[in-house]
Amino acid sequence: MARIYPICSSSTGNCTFIGTKGHGILIDDGCSFASLKNALSLIDTEINQIEAIFITHEHIDHVKGLNVLAKHSKIPVFASAGTIAALTAEDKAPLPESLRLYNIFEESYKSAEFEVTAFHTPHDTPESVGYVVNYNNTRIAVCTDIGIVTEEIEKNLLGCHAVLLESNYDLDMLRRNVNYSPALKRRIASDTGHLSNAAAAEFAEKLVNSGTTRLILGHLSRENNTPNTAYSCTCSHLQRKGMKLGSDFTLDIAPVITEGQYIAL
Protein backbone atom coordinates (compact mmCIF):
# COMPACT_ATOMS: atom_id res chain seq x y z
CA MET A 1 0.00 0.00 0.00
CA ALA A 2 1.40 3.39 -1.00
CA ARG A 3 1.97 5.84 1.82
CA ILE A 4 2.71 9.50 2.28
CA TYR A 5 4.54 9.84 5.54
CA PRO A 6 5.25 13.44 6.62
CA ILE A 7 8.25 12.94 8.91
CA CYS A 8 8.50 16.59 9.88
CA SER A 9 6.88 19.74 8.57
CA SER A 10 7.27 23.30 9.87
CA SER A 11 9.50 26.34 9.64
CA THR A 12 12.16 24.37 11.54
CA GLY A 13 12.29 21.14 9.52
CA ASN A 14 10.73 19.44 6.51
CA CYS A 15 11.01 15.85 5.29
CA THR A 16 8.46 13.57 3.59
CA PHE A 17 8.67 9.84 2.88
CA ILE A 18 6.72 8.40 -0.07
CA GLY A 19 6.55 4.67 -0.69
CA THR A 20 5.65 1.51 1.18
CA LYS A 21 6.88 -0.05 4.39
CA GLY A 22 10.51 -0.92 3.79
CA HIS A 23 11.08 1.05 0.60
CA GLY A 24 10.65 4.59 -0.67
CA ILE A 25 12.05 8.02 -1.41
CA LEU A 26 12.46 11.24 0.56
CA ILE A 27 11.44 14.75 -0.37
CA ASP A 28 13.87 17.00 1.57
CA ASP A 29 15.95 16.10 4.61
CA GLY A 30 15.35 18.88 7.10
CA CYS A 31 15.58 16.86 10.32
CA SER A 32 18.55 15.38 12.14
CA PHE A 33 19.93 11.97 11.24
CA ALA A 34 18.76 10.57 14.58
CA SER A 35 15.25 11.97 14.10
CA LEU A 36 15.05 10.59 10.56
CA LYS A 37 16.25 7.16 11.63
CA ASN A 38 13.76 7.06 14.49
CA ALA A 39 10.89 8.25 12.29
CA LEU A 40 11.59 5.61 9.67
CA SER A 41 11.71 2.91 12.33
CA LEU A 42 8.10 3.74 13.22
CA ILE A 43 7.09 2.42 9.78
CA ASP A 44 9.60 -0.47 9.84
CA THR A 45 11.93 1.18 7.34
CA GLU A 46 15.70 1.70 7.50
CA ILE A 47 17.94 4.37 6.02
CA ASN A 48 19.38 1.96 3.45
CA GLN A 49 15.88 1.31 2.12
CA ILE A 50 15.62 4.89 0.82
CA GLU A 51 16.45 4.78 -2.88
CA ALA A 52 16.77 8.54 -3.57
CA ILE A 53 16.38 11.98 -2.00
CA PHE A 54 14.86 15.01 -3.73
CA ILE A 55 15.69 18.47 -2.38
CA THR A 56 13.33 21.38 -2.98
CA HIS A 57 15.85 24.11 -2.09
CA GLU A 58 18.84 24.82 0.11
CA HIS A 59 17.24 26.55 3.11
CA ILE A 60 18.35 24.88 6.32
CA ASP A 61 14.89 23.60 7.26
CA HIS A 62 15.01 21.43 4.13
CA VAL A 63 18.63 20.21 4.17
CA LYS A 64 19.59 20.20 7.84
CA GLY A 65 20.32 16.47 7.92
CA LEU A 66 21.80 16.05 4.45
CA ASN A 67 25.47 16.27 5.41
CA VAL A 68 25.28 13.63 8.14
CA LEU A 69 23.01 11.38 6.10
CA ALA A 70 25.51 11.44 3.24
CA LYS A 71 28.21 10.22 5.62
CA HIS A 72 26.07 7.20 6.57
CA SER A 73 24.74 6.24 3.15
CA LYS A 74 25.28 6.42 -0.59
CA ILE A 75 21.79 7.57 -1.47
CA PRO A 76 21.72 9.73 -4.64
CA VAL A 77 20.42 13.28 -4.19
CA PHE A 78 18.49 15.20 -6.83
CA ALA A 79 17.90 18.96 -6.96
CA SER A 80 17.85 21.87 -9.39
CA ALA A 81 21.09 23.35 -10.74
CA GLY A 82 20.52 26.49 -8.68
CA THR A 83 20.08 24.50 -5.48
CA ILE A 84 23.13 22.35 -6.21
CA ALA A 85 25.22 25.48 -6.74
CA ALA A 86 23.97 26.90 -3.44
CA LEU A 87 24.68 23.64 -1.59
CA THR A 88 28.24 23.47 -2.93
CA ALA A 89 29.12 27.18 -2.62
CA GLU A 90 32.56 27.90 -1.16
CA ASP A 91 31.15 29.50 1.98
CA LYS A 92 29.14 26.38 2.81
CA ALA A 93 30.33 23.50 4.98
CA PRO A 94 31.78 20.95 2.54
CA LEU A 95 29.55 18.03 1.68
CA PRO A 96 31.08 14.53 1.78
CA GLU A 97 32.90 13.60 -1.42
CA SER A 98 30.79 10.44 -1.60
CA LEU A 99 27.57 12.47 -1.97
CA ARG A 100 26.16 12.11 -5.47
CA LEU A 101 24.27 15.24 -6.60
CA TYR A 102 22.20 15.17 -9.80
CA ASN A 103 20.38 17.95 -11.64
CA ILE A 104 16.75 16.79 -11.72
CA PHE A 105 16.06 18.77 -14.89
CA GLU A 106 18.93 17.11 -16.77
CA GLU A 107 18.72 13.63 -15.29
CA SER A 108 15.07 12.83 -14.73
CA TYR A 109 14.44 10.09 -12.21
CA LYS A 110 12.80 6.81 -13.10
CA SER A 111 13.25 3.51 -11.31
CA ALA A 112 11.34 0.26 -11.19
CA GLU A 113 8.66 1.82 -8.98
CA PHE A 114 9.09 5.60 -9.04
CA GLU A 115 9.07 8.34 -11.63
CA VAL A 116 9.83 11.78 -10.22
CA THR A 117 9.60 15.11 -12.04
CA ALA A 118 10.24 18.64 -10.79
CA PHE A 119 8.61 22.00 -11.40
CA HIS A 120 9.78 25.49 -10.46
CA THR A 121 8.30 27.28 -7.46
CA PRO A 122 8.34 31.00 -6.51
CA HIS A 123 10.51 31.32 -3.41
CA ASP A 124 13.43 33.55 -2.45
CA THR A 125 16.13 31.09 -3.46
CA PRO A 126 18.16 30.65 -6.67
CA GLU A 127 15.98 27.81 -8.04
CA SER A 128 13.46 26.21 -5.72
CA VAL A 129 11.26 23.37 -6.96
CA GLY A 130 8.39 21.09 -6.04
CA TYR A 131 8.00 17.45 -7.06
CA VAL A 132 5.43 15.14 -8.61
CA VAL A 133 5.94 11.46 -7.81
CA ASN A 134 4.31 8.80 -9.97
CA TYR A 135 4.18 5.67 -7.87
CA ASN A 136 2.18 2.61 -8.95
CA ASN A 137 0.02 4.80 -11.22
CA THR A 138 -0.68 7.20 -8.36
CA ARG A 139 0.44 10.81 -8.72
CA ILE A 140 1.61 12.47 -5.50
CA ALA A 141 2.84 16.07 -5.27
CA VAL A 142 4.82 17.96 -2.64
CA CYS A 143 4.62 21.73 -3.00
CA THR A 144 5.74 24.05 -0.20
CA ASP A 145 7.63 27.35 0.15
CA ILE A 146 5.63 29.17 -2.49
CA GLY A 147 4.61 32.80 -2.36
CA ILE A 148 1.85 32.33 -4.92
CA VAL A 149 0.33 29.55 -7.00
CA THR A 150 1.77 29.95 -10.50
CA GLU A 151 0.59 28.51 -13.80
CA GLU A 152 3.48 26.04 -13.68
CA ILE A 153 2.37 24.84 -10.25
CA GLU A 154 -1.23 24.46 -11.41
CA LYS A 155 -0.14 22.56 -14.52
CA ASN A 156 1.79 20.04 -12.44
CA LEU A 157 -0.54 19.63 -9.46
CA LEU A 158 -4.01 19.61 -10.97
CA GLY A 159 -5.13 16.02 -11.38
CA CYS A 160 -2.74 14.57 -8.79
CA HIS A 161 -4.32 11.98 -6.52
CA ALA A 162 -2.66 13.41 -3.40
CA VAL A 163 -1.01 16.76 -2.68
CA LEU A 164 1.02 18.01 0.26
CA LEU A 165 0.46 21.76 -0.01
CA GLU A 166 1.87 24.62 2.00
CA SER A 167 -0.53 26.45 4.33
CA ASN A 168 2.03 28.55 6.15
CA TYR A 169 0.34 31.46 7.88
CA ASP A 170 -2.87 33.12 8.96
CA LEU A 171 -2.75 36.70 7.71
CA ASP A 172 -4.27 38.22 10.87
CA MET A 173 -1.84 36.32 13.10
CA LEU A 174 1.08 37.47 10.96
CA ARG A 175 -0.06 41.09 11.10
CA ARG A 176 -0.45 40.96 14.90
CA ASN A 177 2.91 39.25 15.53
CA VAL A 178 4.95 41.81 17.50
CA ASN A 179 8.08 39.62 17.32
CA TYR A 180 8.34 39.90 13.54
CA SER A 181 9.78 42.99 11.89
CA PRO A 182 7.83 44.72 9.10
CA ALA A 183 10.50 43.55 6.65
CA LEU A 184 10.10 39.91 7.69
CA LYS A 185 6.32 40.15 7.46
CA ARG A 186 6.62 41.57 3.94
CA ARG A 187 8.99 38.78 2.97
CA ILE A 188 6.64 36.05 4.23
CA ALA A 189 3.59 37.56 2.50
CA SER A 190 5.41 38.35 -0.76
CA ASP A 191 5.12 36.49 -4.06
CA THR A 192 8.40 34.71 -3.24
CA GLY A 193 7.58 34.02 0.40
CA HIS A 194 5.04 31.57 1.73
CA LEU A 195 1.45 30.58 1.00
CA SER A 196 -1.29 31.79 3.36
CA ASN A 197 -4.11 29.63 4.69
CA ALA A 198 -6.61 31.52 2.53
CA ALA A 199 -4.58 31.04 -0.65
CA ALA A 200 -4.08 27.35 0.15
CA ALA A 201 -7.83 26.93 0.64
CA GLU A 202 -8.61 28.53 -2.71
CA PHE A 203 -6.11 26.32 -4.52
CA ALA A 204 -7.38 23.26 -2.66
CA GLU A 205 -10.76 23.91 -4.27
CA LYS A 206 -9.17 23.71 -7.72
CA LEU A 207 -7.31 20.56 -6.74
CA VAL A 208 -10.43 18.74 -5.54
CA ASN A 209 -12.30 19.82 -8.68
CA SER A 210 -9.46 18.32 -10.74
CA GLY A 211 -9.70 14.94 -9.00
CA THR A 212 -7.40 15.28 -5.99
CA THR A 213 -8.87 13.31 -3.08
CA ARG A 214 -6.06 13.43 -0.49
CA LEU A 215 -5.01 16.85 0.79
CA ILE A 216 -2.24 17.39 3.33
CA LEU A 217 -1.48 20.88 4.61
CA GLY A 218 2.17 21.39 5.51
CA HIS A 219 4.95 23.80 6.42
CA LEU A 220 2.72 25.54 8.98
CA SER A 221 4.37 28.44 10.78
CA ARG A 222 4.64 27.78 14.51
CA GLU A 223 4.40 31.53 15.18
CA ASN A 224 1.73 32.66 12.71
CA ASN A 225 -0.56 29.65 12.43
CA THR A 226 -2.02 26.69 14.28
CA PRO A 227 -3.07 23.27 12.95
CA ASN A 228 -6.71 23.99 13.84
CA THR A 229 -6.62 27.37 12.10
CA ALA A 230 -5.17 25.96 8.88
CA TYR A 231 -7.47 22.93 8.90
CA SER A 232 -10.59 24.98 9.54
CA CYS A 233 -9.77 27.50 6.81
CA THR A 234 -9.40 24.90 4.06
CA CYS A 235 -12.09 22.50 5.26
CA SER A 236 -14.68 25.27 5.70
CA HIS A 237 -13.90 26.73 2.29
CA LEU A 238 -14.28 23.38 0.54
CA GLN A 239 -17.51 22.59 2.36
CA ARG A 240 -18.94 26.00 1.44
CA LYS A 241 -18.29 25.01 -2.17
CA GLY A 242 -20.38 21.87 -1.73
CA MET A 243 -17.50 19.40 -1.32
CA LYS A 244 -17.92 16.66 1.28
CA LEU A 245 -15.21 15.72 3.75
CA GLY A 246 -14.66 11.97 3.71
CA SER A 247 -16.16 11.37 0.29
CA ASP A 248 -14.91 14.13 -2.03
CA PHE A 249 -11.70 14.72 -0.09
CA THR A 250 -9.74 13.91 3.04
CA LEU A 251 -7.74 16.57 4.84
CA ASP A 252 -4.71 16.07 7.08
CA ILE A 253 -2.17 18.34 8.75
CA ALA A 254 1.49 17.35 8.43
CA PRO A 255 2.96 17.22 11.95
CA VAL A 256 5.89 19.23 13.26
CA ILE A 257 7.50 15.86 14.05
CA THR A 258 5.87 12.52 13.35
CA GLU A 259 4.55 10.02 15.82
CA GLY A 260 4.15 7.44 13.07
CA GLN A 261 1.00 8.63 11.32
CA TYR A 262 0.84 8.26 7.55
CA ILE A 263 -1.71 8.78 4.78
CA ALA A 264 -2.56 5.62 2.86
CA LEU A 265 -3.44 5.85 -0.84
- pLDDT tens, position by position, for the chain (265 residues)? 789 999 999 999 999 999 999 999 999 999 999 999 999 999 999 999 999 999 999 999 999 999 999 999 999 999 999 999 999 986 777 788 888 899 999 988 999 999 999 999 999 999 999 999 999 889 999 999 999 999 999 999 999 999 999 999 999 999 999 999 999 999 999 999 999 999 999 999 999 999 999 999 999 999 999 999 999 999 999 999 999 999 999 999 999 999 999 999 8
The predicted pLDDT at position 56 comes to 98
The predicted pLDDT at position 108 comes to 85
Length of the chain: 265
DSSP 145-179: S-SS--HHHHHHHTT-SEEEEE--B-HHHHHH-TT
The predicted pLDDT at position 225 comes to 98
The predicted pLDDT at position 216 comes to 98
The predicted pLDDT at position 237 comes to 98
Q: How far is CA 78 from CA 50, 65, 108, 207, 243, in A?
A: 13, 15, 9, 26, 37
Nearest C-alpha neighbor of 193 from the set 117, 108, 123: 123
Cα separation, 164 vs 217, whole angstroms: 6
Residue 41's CB is within 10 A of a number of other CB atoms, namely: 12
The predicted pLDDT at position 45 comes to 96
The predicted pLDDT at position 6 comes to 98
In a 3-state reduction of DSSP, which class is residue 253? strand
CA 110 to chain centre: 20
Domain residue ranges in the chain = 3-264
The predicted pLDDT at position 205 comes to 98
Query: What's the DSSP call for residue 249?
Result: B
The predicted pLDDT at position 93 comes to 73
CA 235 to chain centre: 20
Q: 3-264 belongs to which CATH class? A: alpha beta
